[in-house]
A and B are shown apart, each in its own frame.
Chain A
Amino acid sequence: MELITPGLGLIFWMTLVFLALLFLLKKFAWLPILKMLKDREDAITDALSSADKAKEEMKQLQFSNEQLLAEAKNERDSILNEARKIKEKIIEEARLKAGEEAGNIMASALENIRNEKMAALTELKNEVGELSLEIATKILQRELSDPKKQEEFARQLLKEIKLN
């Protein structure tokens, strides 16, 4: 067989085998392999992009979390402030009220005292009146004749009254 003259039989077999090989490989190997390679590449691209998206979302989430936290902090601070204010107000009010009450109590005590004093004075006056009357009676009963003695006596009596 010659080197550079193609043999008929070999051409025939080569064509036959090559066509069969092409057909079988196309159907059972190349198309499935190429399809799955493409699918896998797509899947990887998808996975990568979704991972990126997730990362972005996480970032967003973290950011909003931080924001939320800051807001909560602020709120807490403001609530605390308010509470403090209220507390102070309450204390202030209580203090004022207490002062007022104390004033009232004092006032009524003073009133009472005055009333009592007045009552006492009245009673005293009555007593003094009675005593004066009694004294007068006694003087009248005794030596009303002697004006000197009368006077002395009256003076003595008065002296006694003063001590009361």
Chain B
Amino acid sequence: MPFSGKLAIRTAIGLGAVASLTALTACGSGGSDSSSSSSGKITGQISFQTWNLRAGYKDYFTGLIKDFEKQHPGAKVKWIDQPADNYAEKLSSDASAGTLPDVVNVSPDLSSPLAKAGVLLNLDKDPVAAKYKAQYTDAAWKGDAIPGQDGTYSFPWYLNTGPMFYNKTLFKQAGLDANKPPKTYDELFQDANKIATNSHGKIATLAGTPTIEDFGQYGVQLMSADGTKFTYNSAKGVQLLTQYKKLYDNGGLDSQALTSTPDQKGQKFKEQKVAMNPGSAYNLQDFKENAPSLYKNLGISNVPNNTGHQNMYVQSLGVSKTAKNKATAVAFAAFVTNQKNQEAFAHKVTVFPSTKGSLDKPYWSKEDGTDEGRVRVASAKQLKTAINYTPPVMTDEMKTVLQQEIAKCMQGKESPKQALDNAVAQSNKLLQQG
């Protein structure tokens, strides 16, 4: 059965057949690569894997590939697109069996373990790949560096960030000014508590407990500088969690907040059961089509943050170390992520390009009077200083640990300090084992 969004049921358990991988890494890092060098001729066939983009953007990618093949006669690109769920399982079985596609769509949490296993090309060390560095913003290129790993292992591709959406009707019902949404975390807690009190606990403001991004935006130092230890149990982290605990006790969080997933949070907001939810520019279309009654009363504001740096999400393209036609693979990855192609893609999808100068173009810097335009320009402005707060080494298991400990705190089983200390201790243990 198809599964919705990131709700991946029965995710594969990557108990790997690892024998083949050892062989693979041995030859990969040994220096004497059997595969070609990236400075060779751009020709031959490569495979290119995207993650769930076929359904909406098939024409864009076939056009892109045609352009590339025209520019480089003899080069051939085979496009593979993976469906929404279990992408990590697909990557891990391919990496284990040595069948990773030549150019592959990754996000930092995926490229980090792949790079560590030695299956991705280090772009900084590759003379040809490094030449393309200039086409991206410095932040984006650095954003693809992995703590604890020397170098950059993927070409920056599209970025995303987003506004905070709120429900004006619910704000009004709770006696708040619907045109004055909270700007900082302090205001957020104030307003949320007010909403809870005024509605006698009937209207919740938020659908979830804080995630690691919230800690980051609140100004909490998440990891030690060398990336070997988690540090979000600092006084500031405890302060944030204490605020949330108060809010929870007041009825400011939805009753299922302790266990909710990002999809479920969005759902609650669309069902108008919570008053606020962070989102992305492309959600506007979703609201318009699927929750028109919400869309009529939709308020748009900035996600509160104390650092001046908004959170962003990053997608990039890695090149397999064992690609047969490495020159073609590198050239194609750089081609997909060059300014012209990224901008064209971002026009189609309402995501944002990571190439130098793109966000200064009128499309991303001048409002056109529509809601979409307003959100787009605001987001683009935030992106210039945005940070990907989520540490790439933070695995899903560590995120679950955090969510569980926070839940225990909300239920009053642990103090905020205890909860965060426990979460940090468990995560550090997992980090060391890796």
Q: Do A and B bind each other?
A: no
